Structure 1
Amino acid sequence: MENSHISALSAKHAGLEARIKTESSRPMPDAILVASLKKQKLRLKEELAAQH
């Protein structure tokens, strides 16, 4: 059960990283969206660290 939770968190983290990369590469990226995505990614990273 715990491994599936960690896997799900890792997948969400990777998805957020992809969205941040995509948004940042646009000609006029939405800075508020990028900041929000980065905060979500950080929360997931902290949760992953707590799981180990």
Structure 2
Amino acid sequence: MSLNRRIEELNRRHSQLDEKINEEQKRPSADVTVLKDLKRQKLRLKEEIGMLRAS
């Protein structure tokens, strides 16, 4: 997989996680544990995207 395709895929997954986070936050009884996990995953993707763009 080319570098650009990898970055595009990671960006797509990052956006999907953002949507999941927003959906969870809209729930009346949002699960804090789930939110933390989703945010952690999103941050990992953001860091990986940044490293790939820097290379």
TM-score (norm 2): 0.92
Gaps (5+ residues) in structure 1? none
Runs of 4 or more above 2 Å deviation: none
How far residue 20 of structure 1 moved from its aligned partner, in angstroms, is 0.2
Gaps (5+ residues) in structure 2? none
- Across the aligned residues of Structure 1 and Structure 2, the Cα RMSD in angstroms comes to 0.4
Give the 5 Å matches for 1:1-52.
Answer: 1-52=2-53
Q: Deviations over 1:1-52 (max 9, x none)?
A: 1111000000000000000000001000010000000000000000000011
TM-score (norm 1): 0.97
Kindly tell me the number of residue pairs found equivalent between the two proteins.
Answer: 52
Q: Which structure has the larger Rg? A: 2
